[in-house]
Amino acid sequence: MASAHPTDDMLASYATGAASPGVALLVAAHLTYCARCRARVAAMEAVGGALLATSPADCAPPRLESVMARLDGARADRPKAKASGLSIRDPILPGPIRDAFGAPLSEIRWRFRMPGVSECELPGTGPERVSLLRVRPGAGVPAHTHTGVEATLVLSGALLDRGAVHLPGDVAVATSDDDHHPRAVDGEECVCLTVLGGAVRFTGTFGRALNIFAE
């Protein structure tokens, strides 16, 4: 099981169908690794169903079928937690990520992002930036802050971020208060999914030159 998880806010937004596309994808992929978060989401869904069933908006209690239809509608809008794995097989990418990117890892079209870091951005995710990153051993993203939350799900290798080592299935969440420098550990390439809710500002001497790429 993973040792670092999405925030409860992320899990709750997923459980209610309110998550952004990027957060929904990250949580769905994390759930394929994590029994703890699957249980939390199931509990949140049960609470949500109970709240819907006792909603004060209607004087008469809603019929069970209408509650289930509303829950099903919310569920239908988000990526499936279970890997479909029927059309695209891959030993590293979880099913929701394979389905979203439409390719196994071996067919991802990487683009240079910065020295040691390649990126494949998922189009059509609105103001948030949803990307697969491939980070060479020991390389990383220079020190930076962001205006929104940055969530990273490790898919292979190991990511060192703010003193913690994150392994496949782990989620590192950095808020706008964090100035950090995530990097792959030495000796092993790291592939991860990142969801960035705001702009990045590089803060180090070298990194400031990269701000042009962050626009």
Alpha helix (H) residue ranges in 77-173: 95-101
Q: Give yes or no for residue 153 binding Zn ion (CB under 5 A).
A: no
Q: Give yes or no for residue 34 binding Zn ion (CB under 5 A).
A: yes
Nearer to Zn ion, 5 or 180 (CB): 5
Nearer to Zn ion, 5 or 144 (CB): 5
Name the CA dihedral angle for 93, 98, 103, 106, rounded to a multiple of 10 degrees: 0
> x-or-dash pattern for Zn ion, window 35-64, by CB under 5 A?
-xx---------------------------
User: HEC string of 39-63?
Assistant: HHHHHHHHHHHHHHHCCCCCCCCCC
Q: Give yes or no for residue 5 binding Zn ion (CB under 5 A).
A: yes
d(CA 89, CA 66) in angstroms, rounded, equals: 37
Q: Give yes or no for residue 185 binding Zn ion (CB under 5 A).
A: no
Give the number of residues in contact with Zn ion, rule: CB under 5 A. Answer: 5
Q: In angstroms, what is the minimal distance from the CB of 124 to Zn ion?
A: 27
Nearer to Zn ion, 5 or 129 (CB): 5
R_g of the chain, CA atoms, integer Å: 18
Q: Give yes or no for residue 173 binding Zn ion (CB under 5 A).
A: no
Burial of 89 (0-12, 13-18, 19+ CB in 10 A): exposed
Q: Choose the binding region for Zn ion from 5-13, 51-59, 129-137, 175-183 (rule: CB under 5 A).
A: 5-13
Q: Choose the binding region for Zn ion from 34-42, 157-165, 189-197, 199-207 (rule: CB under 5 A).
A: 34-42
Alpha helix (H) residue ranges in the chain: 8-15, 21-31, 35-53, 64-76, 95-101, 211-214
Strand, coil or helix: 98: helix
Q: In angstroms, what is the minimal distance from the CB of 9 to Zn ion?
A: 14
Q: Choose the binding region for Zn ion from 26-34, 121-129, 138-146, 203-211 (rule: CB under 5 A).
A: 26-34
d(CA 191, CA 91) in angstroms, rounded, equals: 13
Q: Which residues bind Zn ion (CB under 5 A)?
A: 2, 5, 34, 36-37
